[in-house]
Structure formats: structure tokens, C-alpha cells
């Protein structure tokens, strides 16, 4: 009985922990889409002037992580040329030394398509860390990594509309929502492609911190946010509808 | 006479070089605004699938460049707390070994406010390299660096609306335009704050490459671009008008 009381109290304490999240890790892997990382990051950057915020990059190793898809040994460009996007982000922490982390953000990009076993350690990290997180946020095809980790099973989520079929194949048990700029299910916030990462981060700030904080952040970024999560012109553009393309609904 | 002919021919050759720009350098300095860098970069990233594009970061030294304003020794946060934004971008090239560069992009950020002599070398680089460029693009308060380099003198330009007064003070001879999402004058394209960098880059791609290339890029980024350079809700928000705040016009 004492054990049960303790568990109940621990549960209540956990649910009633209303201090807003401050520590935000962003996952890096070779070939990430840079705007998927920096869009949400700069929303939290703008928030960091209003309250204490700690953002950092996490990766399996401390090696700088290149974003250019053309550097990936397994990637074949579609054209008869190979562009060069030089640049790497330096991980702040590796999987075995991450500091307190309330939110994990998973970006998308060509790198999410890396053949096994290249992303196995990263997928395992997401699976293992998810129960300890306050929130998980995915941008673009980053939802494919979360799906492969199993953490989206039974949950509603969305993803990039151009890579829709390819990404949802990673999560047959996920309730994929086709017409959505972003989707919230429990503590998981997922967004559509690339620039939608800015909108999901702003929506998150509005709900979890305050509407005033979100407005102040977007005014600073001179960003006209999308306020309607289900208004998705890119679903229409790529011929996706809830009726035809959403999965496991109802 | 032979000398004059050579000069004329050289001039014509230079003017008639109509091959679109391919090589894009982005300037880094401590405390740059990350979205000012990555917004335009990801527009060119999307373009890089359509044609050969080479992007790279440039800085005075090869030392990784941190974006977090809180790391700047001269910066005092306004609140009674100091957030932590961990992360650095690695310069691809230093000022003395840059590869061919058709476009230079100058981002803004708290770092543009660094007291002299911290940015002197960077400002000198902009002054020296401008005559060799096809195009110069500034984002946000990056126009303050271009102004200090003198390259905006007599030209129309815009900048961040929240930091308007502080930034235009760097360019008393610049024709500052208050109501503008972005401004083009000759080969200089300047944008308003942070996220406006995406719009100026898209407008640039539409004009210099093609409208079709711009549409393809924004569809990939799932970005609803601003198509009207003079529609500036943030000028209105911050109480700026052409009549009151634009300078050296007419």
C-alpha cells in the first residue's frame, strides 16, 4: 500500500511539474536539412531573451556533422552534376554525456534515408531517451527516424509532403495525418516539410509558454507564422488528402 | 589605343558574362543570427538539386564560430538570467584562401554590434571583396556591416525593423528604405529582419535564375514566400514609414 501511494504521488508530482521546459537538444546526423535545425532553434533563440533557455546539438560522436547531402557516400544526386554545400555543425554533446534535456528535436533531410546500419545508433537513442523527455518534436522527414524508433506507434503525426510515401512507410502503426502543417499528439509535436519546423516551434511556444511569448518571438524574427495547423497548401500541391492518404485514423 | 581596346574588351567580357552565379560565400562572425545564414543557404540548397551550386562559410580564421550571443564577452543580456545557445559553424575558408565567389551573403545578429576593433577585419574584407563580386546580399542587421564597409553608400537598402535606428546610423550616406521586406539596388540585395532572408533569397533566385527555379525551391522547402518587396507588416508594427524614416531619398 505504501508502495502504491508512493507510485501515485510520484505520478502526480510528474504530472504537476509545471515548470516550462528549458533544455532543448537537437539531433544531428550527416545530411540533415539545415533549416529543419535552425528554424526551431531560432524560435527558441528569440525565446531565450525572455526566459532561461539552453539549446544544444547531440550526435553519436563529437565529430562535426556535415549537412551537405553531396558528402554522403551512399547518396547519388539525381542530376548530371554534384553540387557542393560545405559546412558542418559541431555537436555539443554525444549520446553518452547529454545534459538535462526536456525537449528533443529531430530534423529531417536526405540523411534520414541512410541505409542501415548508419542510423541504427541514432534510432536506438531516440527509442531509449523518449520516455525521459518532456516533449519530442520532429521536423520534415525527421518523423521517419521517430517512426523507426517506434515512439510514434499509435500516435498522430505528420511529415514532409514531397517525401510522404517514403516516410510513412517507416511507421505502419502511426496515425499519419496528410493535411497538416503540424500535428500534436500528447507530448509529440510533428511538422510538415522544412520551413514548417518554424511553425511547429512557434505553436509549441504559444501553448507551452504563452501566446505573448510566441508573438514576441515571431516579431523579433519578423516571421508571419501559420496559425492553423490543418491549413496545408503543400498537401494540396502534392495531391495528398486526409481521405486518401491519412492512415490508421478512427 | 591598344590598351584602351583591351580595357573596353575586358569590360564587355565582364558585362556579358551571363552565366548565372554558382559560388556563394556566407560570412560568419561570433554572435551571427543562425536563421540569417541558414534561411538563404537552404534556398540555395534547394536550388542545388536543379543546377550546380557551391556554398561555403567564410571567416577571418578557421576557428569554429559560435552563434550564441551569450558567449560574447562584450554582450550583457537584458534579463536577470543568461541563456545558453551552444553551437558553432565551421568556416570552410578564411579571408586569405577563399575560392571563386560570385555572391557574398552577410547575416545579421547581435554580433554585428561588436565594438571596434572586433569586426574591423571583417568590414575591411567586405570593402575589398565587393568589387570582385557578382552580387552582395545582406540579411537583417548584416546591412550594418555592409554600411560600415562603405559599399552601400548612395545605394538603396533596408534592414531589420526592430534595430532600425541603431543599424541605419552605420550608413549616413545610404538610401535606407523603411517599408520593405527586401530591396534591390544594382547588384546589392538587402532584406529586413531574420526570416526576411528567406524571401530575399527566393526573390533573387526568381530574378537571376528563373521563376520556375524559385517555385521549385519553395515547394521543396514548403515555404509560402512573400512576393511583394514593399509589403512590410513589421515596419508598420515598429512604427516605421517611408515618409518619416527612409533616408536620402529622391
- How far apart are the CA of B171 and the nearest CA of chain A, in angstroms? 22
Asked if omega into A117 is within 30° of 0 (cis), the reply is yes
Question: Which DSSP symbol is given to A70?
Answer: G
Taking the Cβ of residue A64 and every Cβ of chain B, the question of whether any pair is shorter than 8 Å is answered with yes
Pairing of strands B103-106, B135-138: parallel
List, as own/partner pairs, every contact residues A162-171 make where C-beta atoms lie below 8 angstroms and the sequence separation is at least 24, other chains included.
A162/A193, A162/A234, A162/A238, A162/B219, A162/B220, A162/B222, A163/A108, A163/A193, A164/A238, A164/A240, A164/A245, A166/A113, A166/A141, A167/A112, A167/A141, A167/A143, A168/A247, A170/A144, A171/A143, A171/A144, A171/A146, A171/A147
pLDDT in tens, A107-149: 999 999 999 999 999 999 999 999 999 999 999 999 999 999 9
**From CA B106, how far away is CA B118, in angstroms rounded?**
16
Does the ipTM exceed 0.85?
yes
CB-count exposure of residue B229 (10 Å: 0-12, 13-18, 19+): buried
Task: Give residues 82 to 121 of B whose Cβ lies within 8 Å of A.
Answer: 82-90, 92
Give the model's confidence band at A13: pLDDT under 50 very low, under 70 low, under 90 confident, else very high: very low
Instruction: Verify whether the Cβ–Cβ distance B87 to A57 is below 8 Å.
Output: yes
**Chain B CB contacts of A220 below 8 Å:** 162, 193-194
Q: Which residues pair with B103 in a beta bridge?
A: B24, B135
Nearest CB to B48 within list A38, A45, A83: A83
Percent of chain A topping pLDDT 90: 89
Look at residue A18 in the predicted model and tell me its pLDDT: 59
Taking the Cβ of residue B239 and every Cβ of chain A, the question of whether any pair is shorter than 8 Å is answered with no
Pairing of strands B103-106, B23-27: parallel
Instruction: Verify whether the Cβ–Cβ distance A85 to B45 is below 8 Å.
Output: yes
Give the residue from A114, A31, A33, A69 showing the smallest Cα distance to B53. A69
- How far apart are the CA of B149 and the nearest CA of chain A, in angstroms? 25
Total residues belonging to chain B: 250
Task: Pull the grid cell for residue A36.
Answer: 529543419
Nearest CB to A222 within list B34, B49, B234: B234
Look at residue B250 in the predicted model and tell me its pLDDT: 77
**Chain A CB contacts of B51 below 8 Å:** 79, 81, 83
**Chain A CB contacts of B223 below 8 Å:** 194-195
**From CA A151, how far away is CA A3, in angstroms rounded?**
29
CA-based torsion, A123, A125, A127, A133: positive or negative: negative
**From CA A74, how far away is CA A208, in angstroms rounded?**
40
pLDDT in tens, A162-214: 999 999 999 999 999 999 999 999 999 999 999 999 999 999 999 999 999 99
**Chain A CB contacts of B219 below 8 Å:** 162, 234, 237
Q: Mean pLDDT, to the nearest integer, of A60-71?
A: 95
**Chain A CB contacts of B48 below 8 Å:** 70, 83, 85
Q: Which residues pair with B88 in a beta bridge?
A: B66
pLDDT in tens, A233-243: 999 999 999 99
Look at residue A19 in the predicted model and tell me its pLDDT: 84
CB-count exposure of residue B244 (10 Å: 0-12, 13-18, 19+): exposed
Count how many Cα atoms sit within 13 Å of the Cα of residue B180 in the half-sphere of its side chain: 26
Total residues belonging to chain A: 250
**From CA A2, how far away is CA A48, in angstroms rounded?**
42
Q: Which helix (H) or strand (E) holds A213?
A: helix A211-221
- How far apart are the CA of A69 and the nearest CA of chain B, in angstroms? 9
Look at residue A14 in the predicted model and tell me its pLDDT: 40
Taking the Cβ of residue A159 and every Cβ of chain B, the question of whether any pair is shorter than 8 Å is answered with no
**Number of other residues whose CB lies within 10 A of the CB of residue A119:** 22
**From CA B12, how far away is CA A33, in angstroms rounded?**
40
Task: Pull the grid cell for residue B43.
Answer: 534556398
Q: Is the pLDDT of residue A50 over 50?
A: yes
Look at residue B13 in the predicted model and tell me its pLDDT: 39
Residues 6+ apart with CB under 8 A from B176: B156, B157, B158, B159, B168, B245, B246, B247, B248
Task: Pull the grid cell for residue A211.
Answer: 501566446
Instruction: Verify whether the Cβ–Cβ distance A90 to B87 is below 8 Å.
Output: yes
Instruction: Verify whether the Cβ–Cβ distance A51 to B81 is below 8 Å.
Output: yes
Over chain B (250 residues), what is each successive 10-residue block's mean pLDDT? Answer: 46 52 98 98 97 97 95 87 94 97 98 96 98 98 98 98 97 98 98 97 98 98 97 97 95
Amino acid at each position: 500500500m505504501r508502495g502504491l501511494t508512493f507510485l501515485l504521488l510520484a505520478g502526480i508530482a510528474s504530472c504537476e511539474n509545471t515548470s516550462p521546459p528549458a533544455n532543448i537538444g537537437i539531433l544531428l546526423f550527416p545530411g540533415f536539412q539545415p533549416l529543419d535545425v535552425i528554424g526551431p532553434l531560432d524560435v527558441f533563440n528569440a525565446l531565450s531573451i525572455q526566459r532561461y533557455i539552453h539549446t544544444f546539438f547531440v550526435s553519436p560522436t563529437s565529430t562535426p556533422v556535415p549537412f551537405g547531402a553531396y558528402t554522403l557516400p551512399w547518396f547519388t544526386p539525381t542530376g548530371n552534376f554534384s553540387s557542393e554545400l560545405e559546412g558542418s555543425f559541431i555537436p555539443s554533446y554525444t549520446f553518452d554525456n547529454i545534459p538535462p534535456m526536456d525537449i528533443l528535436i529531430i530534423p529531417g533531410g536526405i540523411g534520414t534515408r541512410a541505409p542501415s546500419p548508419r542510423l541504427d545508433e541514432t534510432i536506438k537513442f531516440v527509442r531509449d531517451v523518449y520516455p525521459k523527455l518532456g516533449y519530442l518534436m520532429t521536423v520534415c522527414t525527421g518523423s521517419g527516424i521517430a517512426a523507426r524508433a517506434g515512439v510514434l506507434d499509435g500516435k498522430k503525426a505528420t511529415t514532409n509532403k514531397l517525401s510522404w510515401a517514403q516516410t510513412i512507410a517507416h511507421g505502419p502503426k502511426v496515425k499519419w495525418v496528410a493535411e497538416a502543417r503540424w500535428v500534436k499528439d500528447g507530448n509529440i509535436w510533428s511538422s510538415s516539410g522544412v520551413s514548417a519546423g518554424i511553425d511547429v516551434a512557434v505553436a509549441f511556444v504559444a501553448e507551452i509558454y504563452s501566446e505573448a511569448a510566441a508573438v514576441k518571438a515571431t516579431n523579433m524574427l519578423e516571421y508571419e507564422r501559420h496559425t492553423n495547423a490543418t491549413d496545408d497548401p503543400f498537401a494540396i500541391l502534392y495531391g495528398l488528402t486526409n481521405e486518401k492518404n491519412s492512415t490508421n485514423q478512427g
